[in-house]
Amino acid sequence: MSDVRSVAVLGATGSIGGSTLNVIDRHPERFRVAALTAGRRADALDRLAVCWNPDYVVLAGVEDLPTGRQWGGDWRYGSEEMRLAAADPAIPIVVNALVGFAGLESTLAALGAGKRLALANKESLVVGGHLVLEAAAAGGGELIPVDSEHSAILQCLGGRPTAEVHRVILTASGGPFRDWPADRFASIRPEDALAHPTWSMGDKITVDSATLANKALEVIEAHLLFGLDFDRIDVVVHPGSIVHSMVEFRDGSTVSQLGHPTMEVPIQYALSAPERLPNEFRSFDPVDAGPLEFERLRREDFPMFELGVAAGRSGGTAPAVYNAANEVAVRAFLEGRLKFQAIATLVETVMSSMPQTPVESLQHLVRVDAEARSRSRESLGTQSATRGDRTP
Ligand code: NAD
Ligand code: MG
């Protein structure tokens, strides 16, 4: 029997999508590309399809055939086709590298169909919460994190039960504004926020790393993945991004996972775990690496962190509201319609206008997401009109 397992790469034209294809390229004896999906970039998807010749591709944000394409294979269109690809019984592994709430249906579909889901799209887990965990339990799906911190924790845990864990310590690079004085934040432009010191990533997560919203999403992600109370999840700033996280066990031993920052290692692990496959990456040399530095998180200067953790602690629909408002605010910031510091103001306004309720169903979350987006756009209109929040 062949050991080659088929993989669907959702969000293939993005940063994690591209890194996933590099991993698969290195291990043709283990993985093959069965389906590729993208949002709107037909030309980029076309080039990938020519290169990989998958069984089919899905252009999720488009309802019709793009003109001038090179690849003559099976093109499918629309988000329903993307959901079907996530649930395709012929494909045992799904990599969800979509951005934001848009990834939720695919996460639920893949887990409900009993797949191994290599999950980069943390927003879907954070927003879906117990709905996602229940889909995995009901469908027999396996949820393996791609996020480097959570991959590290999974590896450090080594299968030991949560009861043996005293706490986990997530590391954070601190983002581009780690050492900026808070009084300079008013001058932050999109290009400053997009200049991440250690990771090269898509725009949305890069801004989330600058506001520390990403770290709040990761705290909630750790809470859900590993069943840990929020009080047992700490965050420490580690600018070098070498130590990917740590687990402190109840006997006082702290175990960490280290490596040079590349997402290809956690992606590869998510595809092959618990087996470890070889690769040619530079190995970690403790002498060359120099000192490993750690700092406390400047919670008081990055309110998106506390707001996100508070949403996680509230539970129910609160993370969905936080996430939706953040998605709208980040887009507005990148388009020069909102100041960096006004991201948190907008998110806080929307969160306080929508008290959390228990999540009933996917349809319920879709309604909450839409309502939070609509209130965010309203608030954005008010802010721009009254405060002249337009970045030059
Ligand atoms: P990206 O913007 O580079 O790529 C996103 C991909 O998703 C693209 O292929 C795009 O076409 C597709 N897409 C976006 N919106 C869509 C929609 N509505 N419908 C269908 N397709 C859509 O993003 P990225 O940096 O690769 O991040 C992907 C996910 O992985 C995010 O959730 C991010 O938080 C997470 N993540 C990324 C990194 C990283 O290093 N980039 C690290 C950890 C976690
Ligand atoms: Mg991460």
Minimum-distance ligand to the CA of 198?
A: 1
Residue 218 CB–ligand 1 contact under 6 Å: no
**What are the Cα distances from residue 145, in Å, to 5, 205, 226?**
19, 16, 11
Residue ID of nearest Cα to ligand 1 atom 40? 201
CA distance 243 to 151: 12
CA distance 341 to 57: 39
This prediction's pTM:
0.96
**What are the Cα distances from residue 38, in Å, to 8, 43, 61, 221?**
11, 10, 8, 24
Residue ID of nearest Cα to ligand 1 atom 28? 97
CA distance 360 to 99: 23
Residue 20 CB–ligand 1 contact under 6 Å: no
CA distance 120 to 284: 24
Task: Please give the DSSP secondary-structure letter assigned to residue 113.
Answer: T
CA-124 nearest atom, ligand 1: 32
CA 128, 134, 138, 143 dihedral sign is positive
Residue 10 CB–ligand 1 contact under 6 Å: no
DSSP-based three-state secondary structure for 39? coil
Which of 10, 16, 104, 334 has most ligand 1 atoms within 8 Å of its beta carbon, as the pocket-test mutant? 16
CA of 267 to the centre of ligand 2 (A): 12
**What are the Cα distances from residue 240, in Å, to 27, 150, 259, 260?**
29, 17, 10, 9
CA-40 nearest atom, ligand 1: 11
Query: Do residues 167 and 232 make contact, with C-beta atoms less than 8 angstroms apart?
Result: yes
Residue 16 CB–ligand 1 contact under 6 Å: yes
DSSP-based three-state secondary structure for 53? coil
Minimum-distance ligand to the CA of 16?
A: 1
Per-residue pLDDT of the chain (392 residues; tens, 9 = 90+): 568 999 999 999 999 999 999 999 999 999 999 999 999 999 999 999 999 999 999 999 887 666 788 999 999 999 999 999 999 999 999 999 999 999 999 999 999 999 999 999 999 999 999 999 999 999 999 999 999 999 999 999 999 999 999 999 999 999 999 999 999 999 999 999 999 788 789 999 999 999 999 999 999 999 999 999 999 999 999 999 999 999 999 999 999 999 999 999 999 999 999 999 999 988 899 999 899 999 999 999 999 999 999 999 999 999 999 999 999 999 999 999 999 999 999 999 999 999 999 999 999 999 999 999 999 999 998 765 444 333 32
CA distance 364 to 370: 10
CA of 38 to the centre of ligand 1 (A): 10
